[in-house]
């Protein structure tokens, strides 16, 4: 049985049960909590710098800015889309549809030059003896891509071992309930947020009289524009309320619970989507850190491993690797950062020039050669890491 929307009025004032709308990525985004969770994850993931590094000696690393893939991941994914726009679309597709696909365009030297996102609704994946094959259809044209020609991001892997399962597909009932509650609220406030009731007449009415009175009452008292108008009843007519108010039916509380339920699906702290009922400064700061370490971490690693598997060769993976720069989200406020840098410099594992680089400040020649001050140093702080 589907969920019911009881705010539509039928014959003689009785509510007509209607099945709630089907849950699709489009209808799910009509729920503000779903849209906010998807935007929080996709926007944050896309806005983080995704850097291609070159491994050096003794475990050191440097930015591989001269590699063609560096520009694709950091600046322009293709001639029409920036890296942020491309990654935001791909991440949203993973969350809403469970899968995201991008066509890989390589240059004459075999290096990735462009990444073009594909609509997941138009992609079919087949398993063949030689590996996965991706068939993309658009405007009557079908294109076949081999495994190394398609960047495939998945949410939690499904039972077939090929496609991912989105949160809204795995817990469809949670989103369906939120949609039904939203529809109930829209219909109720469209009808003026008034109690349902009946008009009691002293005598029997003919069918045409009932229709005329019903139309006249709806034109004068239904809708938000008519809210608060005074009804004028004649010839012994009485209005008798039948239903409870929204507060009595705990509709508002149910709406709040739906926000929490949706946040559970996407593993997003409620404060991130502006659900502030139980928020304070202390837990908001900690929940923001948990958003990075517990929510984003899985998606960031998924991106990094997919890039290594599809955009780099076996030899390239031994030299290059892609990694997101999340320190900016984890390093805290200016006071904590100052204490962290001070403790690192005094203990000898951080250079002053490195601290300025972390703060995106210009280099000062000879700053590392200046003697350390003798003022008291605060207790060392742990280094912020996405691990």
Please tell me the predicted confidence (pLDDT) of residue 189.
Answer: 66
pLDDT at residue 211 tops 70:
yes
What 3-state class would DSSP assign to 105? strand
pLDDT band, very low/low/confident/very high, at 221 (cuts 50, 70, 90): low
Mean pLDDT of the chain: 80
Residue whose structure tokens are 């929490």 = 260
Q: Regarding predicted confidence, which is higher, 373 or 354?
A: 354
Q: What is the pLDDT of residues 46-89, one digit of tens each?
A: 999 999 999 887 777 889 999 999 999 999 999 999 999 999 99
Q: Please say whether the dihedral angle defined by the alpha carbons of residues 173, 269, 163 and 151, taken in this order, is positive or negative.
A: positive
Residue whose structure tokens are 């991912």: 164
**Residue partners of 163: CB distance under 8 A and separation at least 6:** 98, 99, 125, 154, 157
* Residue pLDDT, tens place only, 182-207: 777 777 666 654 555 666 666 676 67
Residue 242 in this model has a pLDDT that exceeds 60:
no
Percent of the chain as helix, strand, coil, to the nearest 5: 45, 20, 35
Predicted local distance difference test score (pLDDT) of residue 368: 84
pLDDT at residue 121 in the model? 93
Q: How far apart are CA 387 and CA 377, in angstroms?
A: 27
> Of 222, 253, 176, 257, which is closest to residue 4 (Cα–Cα)?
176
pLDDT number for residue 322: 95
Tokens of 278: 């139980």
Longest dimension (CA), the chain: 101
pLDDT(163) > 90: yes
b/e per residue 82-111 (b: at least 16 CB within 10 A)? ebbebbbbbbbbbbbbbbbbbbbeeeeeee
How many alpha carbons fall within 13 Å on the CB side of residue 374? Answer: 0
Q: Using one digit for the tens of pLDDT, what is the confidence trace for 8-54?
A: 444 344 444 444 457 888 888 888 889 999 999 999 999 999 999 99
DSSP string, 108-170: TTS-EEEEEEE-GGGEEEEEETTEEEEEEEETTEEEEEEGGGEEEEESEE-TTSSSEE-HHHH
Average pLDDT over residues 298-314: 95
SS3 230: coil
Is 118's pLDDT higher than 70? yes
pLDDT of residue 354: 85
DSSP 8-state assignment for residue 312: S
pLDDT value at 320 more than 50: yes
Question: Which residues pair with residue 197 across a beta bridge?
Answer: 241
203 or 259, which is more confident: 259
**Phi, psi angles (nearest 5°) of residue 369:** -90, -10
**Per-residue pLDDT at 57:** 77
Ramachandran assignment for 56, one of left (phi > 0), alpha (psi -120 to 50 degrees), beta (any other): beta
Interval 285-291 mean pLDDT = 77
This prediction has a pTM of: 0.73
User: Which carries the bigger pLDDT value, residue 154 or residue 183?
Assistant: 154
164-182 average pLDDT score: 86
Mean pLDDT confidence for 241-249: 54
């Amino acid at each position: 049985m589907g969920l019911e929307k009881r705010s539509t009025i039928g014959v003689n004032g009785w509510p007509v049960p209607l099945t709630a709308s089907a849950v699709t990525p489009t209808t799910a985004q009509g729920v503000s909590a779903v849209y906010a969770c998807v935007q929080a994850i996709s926007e944050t993931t896309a806005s983080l710098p995704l850097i291609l590094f070159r491994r050096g000696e003794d475990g050191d690393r440097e930015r591989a800015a001269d590699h063609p893939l560096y520009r694709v991941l950091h600046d322009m994914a293709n001639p029409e889309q920036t890296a942020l726009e491309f990654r935001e679309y791909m991440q949203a597709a993973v969350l809403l549809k469970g899968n995201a696909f991008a066509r890989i365009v390589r240059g004459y030297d075999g290096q990735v030059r462009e990444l073009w996102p594909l609509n997941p609704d138009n992609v079919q994946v087949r398993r063949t003896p030689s590996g996965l094959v991706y068939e993309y259809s658009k405007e009557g044209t079908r294109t076949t891509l081999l495994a190394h020609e398609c960047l495939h991001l998945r949410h939690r892997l499904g039972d077939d071992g090929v496609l991912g399962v989105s949160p809204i597909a795995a817990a469809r009932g949670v989103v369906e309930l939120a949609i039904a509650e939203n529809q109930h609220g829209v219909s109720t406030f469209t009808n003026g947020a008034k109690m349902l009731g009946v008009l009691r007449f002293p005598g029997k009415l003919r069918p045409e009289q009932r229709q005329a009175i019903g139309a006249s009452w709806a034109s004068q008292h239904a809708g938000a524009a008519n809210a608060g108008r005074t009804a004028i009843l004649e010839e012994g007519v009485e209005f008798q309320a039948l239903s409870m108010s929204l507060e009595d039916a705990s509709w508002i509380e149910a709406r709040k619970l739906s926000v929490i339920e949706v946040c559970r699906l996407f593993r997003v702290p409620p404060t991130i989507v502006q659900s502030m009922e139980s928020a304070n400064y202390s837990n908001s700061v900690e929940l923001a850190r948990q958003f990075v370490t517990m929510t984003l971490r899985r998606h960031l690693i998924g991106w990094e491993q997919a890039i290594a598997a599809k955009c780099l060769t076996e030899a390239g993976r031994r030299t290059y690797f892609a990694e997101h720069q999340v320190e900016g989200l984890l390093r805290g406020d200016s006071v904590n950062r100052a204490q962290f840098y001070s403790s690192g410099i005094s203990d000898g594992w951080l250079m002053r020039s490195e601290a300025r680089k972390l703060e995106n400040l210009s280099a000062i020649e000879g700053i590392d050669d200046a003697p350390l001050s003798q003022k008291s140093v605060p207790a060392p702080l742990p280094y912020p890491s996405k691990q």
